[in-house]
Structure 1
């Protein structure tokens, strides 16, 4: 279903990150500014009830209510009313793939209390029958700071009473006690209290019915009976306090008896464990490798309906015009999910956070408007980098660091590593499933568990995309799926010639539906959910911090080994988007980008001056040698650090240290999140502190940054104008309407100075383009460009919609490669430069032909007649041009 365009498609969006320090009321206060800026829709981070203290909202604990830390329902209503008064629409980011754990998540609390008999056991993607018998019918809870036995012996686990309820306390967390385990100490308490009522309650708790599988009726009966028993126990304690004293006595005795306490804990529906056990033994699907985010079974209609009721109601009422779907690749069947959502919200603007790899496009069958814009971001960046300069930077990188300069092998190795370690429990579940499949096939039954495990890891690591979309129940597999699968199979065979190639063939046969059955179908669906986190954690969160030739290119969905793109390829991409997804989102910065658009724009200039960059870092390394601690930091880290300073300068010491710590732990080369290398981290911090307090180095750094500063800003203006005029709905990340040199989160979630932005926008109304350029350092040219094009989109939305064709405009002359020009329909012409340092301001004979008619440059006010025109003349008043046909 290509070319789907909602009747509620925004003209533009402005992303806001809501949290306890920026609430609904704070957002309402800046709504006037956003309206004045020109955006049509406020695009909010998730704001259903999240875990306490959440700074992002993706850790939802209750889909039935608005986040209290943001002001709750009353503040939400005030916010929505203010948007309605200003005729601003609203788009909301929602999270269907997972929920956060914890006592606030009553679904999960019920599962921990009642296990597979819980009313909500069907909500979560839990393996109740794993290979390890000791984990069957239990949820692993890996929260302990040490081995279970040691923590138990040291008194780190105890059972406590809270009224008539009981909880296990460990590692600062509370977990619900299984009601059927209560007779363990209630029987002893009965002996002390001589209470027939307590005896009856104890026996009744032990006789609660067990529900299995889809036995929802028994689960409801169990829940009813359990609550009645707890109410009776509460009444008994109120009427006979001595009974409660006997219960507490029995509890205290059990807590002091390690063996008795262990026996009681073994009766629970969860198993407490050392936190390191999670990587290999966790029995539930997570969001990537985050143990506290448990996967939802969103393919089940009752789960969809309960978790989406509030959102669908807002869409129906018109409070929301659209939604952004977080991580659809985590879902078992993304197409089915989007179809169900579209059925409930036929007019909504729906975009999915689908990460597309180079040369991959959104599936035609998905009934949504498009992606959240990472594909556009990378296309825009590739237009700005210079291919021959990238080739030169490859050698610079190799010479300085001694590191490998071919990216795919690095990505492959990091995917293998993450599959072995952080995602080991996922591999184990897939392995157990495939062992069963092999057992039922006489030609495959002799494959061992160990080689199946290795083969699954290898095949997943060989996928060049996030996942395929094969659906066994519908016999659905596309030629695209087959292509990626066969490429991965052949790659796996080449990498692991020690494994029988027939095993890889059989894996491919199962995934391609050439070998079918109930177990095979389950394996296909689970394997596809697995390749996504392998790509995300292995490449984006690891390899992207290891391969540092030009760090700006290490962006979500990007290829840091790319050599850039041609103008023709850029036009071809935009033309395709106009034909297939004209209402997709286009963006340059998000809450998840590794670097802001302005940082990337400045770093792109390095591809124009590789020799100067090489000379600079060689000099800086010598100047800062005295701050090194032996071999630390290594040269790859140092190279990465210098690029970070160039891109984000001026960068205070505290931000530099925080960012470098996160980056190096993500790289997992010298240190990591699970195994901190204190010596390396201390050495790196000393190096950062020393170098950023070293006048000779700072003088050279500032001279270098000043050399490329203007070119970086021109790059920023070029990609910004393209974002607002290319096919799609442009999104602006909070605060980035001015120069924003933020790095990866949490750096990019720092408070935004909206008072400053309001003042500058007001001042700008009475300024000329020349006056705006004089205040370049304040970011006015970026604000100026955004405001003018947003106003144009508001006045003439039809010039940017699904019917406004994208038409490349030829640029001729000796410097033609330095300019990009295109028309939207026949009324808007965009012209932007690239490679401005290499250009040196000498456009020479470079020109383009403006279509016949009278035109006005919306950014300068200049009036221009159609016909041939020199690019230098077009851009001499302002770095980019936005021509609008008059009349």
Structure 2
């Protein structure tokens, strides 16, 4: 059979395989793998997750990471599992356990960057060999940077002080082992350039020759090694044959050195003596000249960590020096980074991927197509091996044909099933009106926007004016949110990302020099225009590339709008400079521009796109969100805190859009990235129902804690703004219920102290990570501790507890309501580890605390037993006692199991927003899901505090409020998923209705499934 015929058969078989199985999850459960939660731990939890109703395990990254990593986003080796998480055997056992339960696995993948601080063999090779490294192209390094001293070298900003000071303190130590020389700086281990071995080995060579004699066999081998070192290709060689030669010969030299020093102790003693000499003598600065000369010829330049923002010449993940960006656009890099993952996909061990930070990639659109193509080829390869394992020499020809056929189909048929054969969701943060690019071969996002929408519908919009006034009076001034974002983005570009801006500015200057009409634009004017554009840019990035004929219309709008704003704000700047920048970003090249010039312009535009996202993230999420504290529950990743909550119509429109365009997008409410858990936000949202009471409380608390405020030369500590955040944090995160032990309160105090320590540094107002003010840091810590000490602040803590208790039940209703809406909305619902019960966590690392799965499994067994005996009685018990969180576990598991029973509805079902009438019509959100004869109705009350506090209670308050249903529902019978009761719509003035009072009397939220009764 010909390769073409084999390929045709495999193509059809893969298509049939994909059509025969559901390729999207119904629900996911996110777990954080690290040395405290291993594959074996996860395997033991799998039966519980299956019983809970979860369809897919959602795993944090678990490729080999920096030792001690608690998150896995600092992968150091794509070819190995993280040994702290488990072995290949324990990984296989986990995957087998998932298969036994019929569950899939969605794996978090990090294509944008690698951890480089320890144990990264690729980065180590780059540091050793510079541009001549076989892995030099893997990392996004500028080998010809603005600073001439860094040409062909990597800046390593790892020193705690100036280089010369660190060197002369003797903190840099040379060592020799196994035939190689290394440099040690505390935990850092760095290679010495192979050619510099000669400098070390020749020092005092005559001493060795006189001791051993010229004909000594060890001496002959030693001299031969020195000759081999001298003939090594330079570290600046980039021609492939020279690169390969250097890579081979340097290792041969090391083996020979190891052998000769093992055979002849005199040789080893000689080298160790030289190492001692090169390491210098404390108090004698000139003694460090030898080591300085060695380091001067290495492929890296050691520097104080503070210079990173301005001079670093490798692209990072945001501004984290220990995470170096990868060039996934290179096929070899793509293969290296995904080989093991594709093997798991081929073997069915992993069934879907979550892609971290796609906005950092050079060309995300192409990357996702590469993923889908590779997955298709891997599935075909697995089928090929079933029948041709002994004749795999035919595979390359078959693979080539398969790839050509796949590309032709997805190009000619954009809606082809093969274009999204692999389930892929992306960590795409959408700002403002930003939408997912339709061109991406993915199933949706990880749900940050949904998390803000579902929380936002529980924010009472009528309180905006009052809470804004309270905040501004408390902090002593008004805040223009847009201007604050603009200023903080300028700050990020001036401080932590100045180097990236410098590189872009020089590249833009180089482009301007290509044309006599633009060559008079100065470097400074181009840099100012560039900074202004990025600071004003309203979304995270655009997706201009060089291979699609048309630009996305929204990208064009974003760029045009930003250029216009920049012109308006900079009336004294030559407008043609902004026009010049706009034309490059929109691929409007001069007619006479040749291919090289157009390529330079396109590369600049695509590199700029990799910078706008990090600047937005650092300026907005990691700075403004810790400054603009009007209502902390709105300050969430992907959120828009300048907008006071989300209108119900907006919530419905987004759900409708998702049902039509992205039905398999993830829905989340808590993640490893959220700054506050879903339950903390739900409670803080209740403040919008009592704006006047909140105003009185914060004024009272400020007076009660006044003694704990420190008066520093720089001003009071904490500031009023930080104090306002602290008050919301304590109210929002205080543990549920009344009775708490001294140990529990002490732990809560520690958590709040640590959170505030992080928050004030992220705000970058009085202190920061890069320029900490220890006096302010300590004063804020003392303030937090004093607030928890009644001897200092009197009745403050008791008053906070009483206020928390007064809004707690309404917060619980909010939490259950947003959980219900999430579970019924179009999309793949995600549960973050531990959130089955109440979870009042703050930002990481607080939200990565251990989860007691054994407790949750026991509670689930009890709930199932009670439900089987008397579902209505169980619902009544749970509704009467919300504090222990069992009600949340019950809502979650019943909803997840409903998703499994009605899989077609949740994968393909339509969406219908439902109206309400009556006294509390605005105090609930409802919608229906429909697919064939299957109908589901979900309704969550909101703004419930006044109803809960009323004499008639919640049921009475909603007694005259009705859910309007379509006429077609009039003759239907429904079953309440939680209580098990049968429910029939009533006749109302406009058609079928459901009175909310009786339903809410039984359970806090409403989920009705059409029954055959």
Which TM-score band applies after superposition, normalised by the shorter structure? over 0.9
1:886 match = 1011
Alignment of structure 1 residues 474-485 onto 2, 5 Å: 474-485=548-559
Residues 657-682 of structure 1, C-alpha deviation per residue, up to 9 Å, x if partnerless?
Answer: 00000011000111111111111112
Count of aligned residue pairs for this structure pair? 883
Indicate which of 610, 616, 634 corresponds to 1:553.
634
Match of residue 281, structure 1, among 291, 311, 333 = 311
Residue 856 (structure 1) aligned with residue 955 (structure 2): no
Superposed counterparts of 1:306-705, under 5 Å = 306-346=336-376, 347-515=421-589, 517-630=598-711, 631-650=716-735, 652-694=748-790, 695-705=794-804
Q: CA deviation at 1:754?
A: 1.3
**Contact 1:605-1:708 at 8 Å conserved across structures:** yes
Within-5 A mapping of 1:12-411:
12-194=27-209, 195-210=219-234, 215-256=239-280, 257-346=287-376, 347-411=421-485
Alignment of 1:744-783 (within 5 A): 744-765=843-864, 766-767=866-867, 768-783=874-889
Report if aligned partners of 1:167, 1:174 keep a CA contact under 8 Å in 2. yes
Deviates more, 1:206-215 or 1:607-616: 206-215
Quick check: 27-36 or 47-56, which moved more?
Answer: 27-36
Displacement after TM superposition at 1:15 (Å): 0.3
Structure number with larger C-alpha Rg = 2
1:827 equivalent in alignment to 2:935: yes
1:36 deviation in Å? 1.1
Ranges in structure 1 where 5+ consecutive residues have no aligned partner:
none
The match for 1:742 is: 841
More moved, 19-28 vs 213-222: 213-222
The alignment's TM-score, normalised by the length of structure 1, stands at: 0.97
What is the CA deviation profile of residues 702-724 of structure 1, one whole-angstrom value per residue up to 9, with x for unaligned ones?
11111111111111111101111
**Secondary structure of the corresponding residue to residue 70 of structure 1:** coil
Deviation at 1:138, TM superposition (A): 0.2
Query: 1:789 matched to which residue of 2?
Result: 895
Q: Distance in 2 between matches of 1:243 and 1:110?
A: 26
Distance in 1, matches of 2:111 and 2:906, equals: 31
Q: Confirm or deny: 8 A CA contact 2:131 2:238 kept in the other structure.
A: no
| Distance in structure 1 (CA, Å) of the matches to 2:921 and 2:241 | 72
Stretch of structure 1 that moved more, 449-458 or 787-796: 449-458
The structure 2 residue matched to 1:709, chosen from 796, 804, 808, is 808
Cα distance between partner residues in 1 of 2:477 and 2:946: 28
CA drift at 1:208: 1.1
Q: How far apart in 2 are the matches of 1:589 and 1:230?
A: 51
Residue 551 of structure 2 aligns to a residue whose secondary structure is coil
Deviations along 1:304-333, one digit per CA (max 9) or x if unpaired, are 111101111111111111010000000000
**What's the CA shift for 1:188?**
2.4
8 Å CA contact 1:377, 1:588 repeated in 2: yes
**Which secondary structure state, in structure 2, belongs to the residue aligned with residue 311 of structure 1?**
helix
Corresponding position of 1:873: 998
Mapped pair 1:843 → 2:939: no
Q: Deviation at 1:556? A: 0.7
Q: Distance in 2 between matches of 1:563 and 1:754?
A: 36
Structure 1 residue 476 displacement after superposition: 4.5
Task: Establish whether residue 728 from structure 1 lines up as the match of residue 847 from structure 2.
Answer: no
Partners of 2:457 and 2:830 lie apart in 1 by 19
Displacement after TM superposition at 1:22 (Å): 0.8
C-alpha distance in 2, partners of 1:498/1:537?
Answer: 29
Tell me if the contact between 2:66 and 2:118 (Cα under 8 Å) persists in the aligned partners. Answer: no
Shift of 1:171: 4.1
1:563 shift after superposition: 2.4
Once the two structures are superposed, what CA deviation does each residue of 1:713-744 show, in whole Å capped at 9, x if it has no partner?
11111110111110000000000011100000
Whether the 8 Å CA contact 2:159–2:304 is kept in 1: the answer is yes
Q: 1:771 to 1:103 in 2, by over 3 A?
A: closer
Q: What is the CA–CA distance in structure 2 between the aligned matches of 1:216 and 1:287, rounded to whole Å?
A: 29
C-alpha separation between the residues in 1 aligned to 2:206 and 2:274?
10
Shift of 1:451: 2.8
Give the RMSD, CA atoms, in angstroms: 1.7
Q: d(CA) in 1 for partners of 2:974 and 2:204?
A: 90
The whole-number CA distance in structure 1 between the counterparts of 2:362 and 2:439 is 16
CA contact (8 A) 1:815 1:844 kept: no
Give the unaligned 5+ runs of structure 2.
Answer: 1-17, 210-218, 281-286, 377-420, 590-596, 736-744, 868-873, 986-991
- State the shift of 1:778 in Å: 0.6
2:925·2:940 contact (CA, 8 Å) conserved in 1? yes
Cα contact 1:542–1:667 (8 A) shared by 2 = yes
State the 1:78 CA deviation: 1.7
- 1:800 alignment counterpart: 906
Q: 1:534-579 CA deviation, whole Å, 9 max, x = no partner?
A: 0111100000000000011011111111022322222111111100
Contact 1:130 1:429 in 2 (8 A): yes
Contact 2:178 2:255 survives alignment (8 Å): no
| Conserved 8 A contact 1:587-1:732 | yes
Task: Work out the CA distance in 1 between the residues paired with 2:976 and 2:174.
Answer: 73
- Equivalent pair of 1:139/1:283 in contact (CA under 8 Å): yes
Kindly state the Cα deviation for residue 838 of structure 1 after the two structures are TM-superposed.
4.6
Question: Which range is displaced more, 660-669 or 686-695?
Answer: 686-695
Residue 860 of structure 1 and its aligned partner are, at CA, apart by 1.2
In structure 1, distance between residues paired with 2:775 and 2:181: 44
**What whole-Å deviation, never above 9, does each CA across 1:747-778 have from its counterpart, x for those lacking one?**
00011111211121111120510011233111
| Cα contact 1:189–1:249 (8 A) shared by 2 | no
Q: Which residue of 1 aligns with 2:388?
A: none
Farther off after superposition, 773-782 or 121-130: 773-782
Asked whether the 8 Å contact 1:187–1:199 carries over to 2, the reply is no
CA separation in 2, counterparts of 1:340 and 1:778? 47
**3-state SS, counterpart of residue 345 of structure 1:** helix
Q: Is the 8 A contact 2:129 2:235 kept in 1?
A: no
8 Å Cα contact 2:126/2:135 also seen in 1:
yes
CA distance in 1, matches of 2:187, 2:333: 30
Tell me by how many angstroms 1:503 deviates: 1.7
Return the offset for 1:820. Answer: 1.4
Q: Is the Cα contact below 8 Å between 1:7 and 1:348 reproduced in 2?
A: no
Q: Cα deviation per residue 1:483-511 (whole Å; 9 max; x = unaligned)?
A: 11112212222333443332222111111
Per the TM alignment, residue 231 of structure 1 is displaced from its structure 2 partner at its CA by: 1.4
CA contact (8 A) 1:601 1:712 kept: yes
Q: Distance in 2 between matches of 1:434 and 1:67?
A: 42
* Conservation of the 8 A alpha-carbon contact between 2:686 and 2:810: yes
Q: Which residue of 1 aligns with 2:11?
A: none
Contact 1:475/1:513, CA 8 A, preserved across alignment = no
1:844 deviates by: 5.0
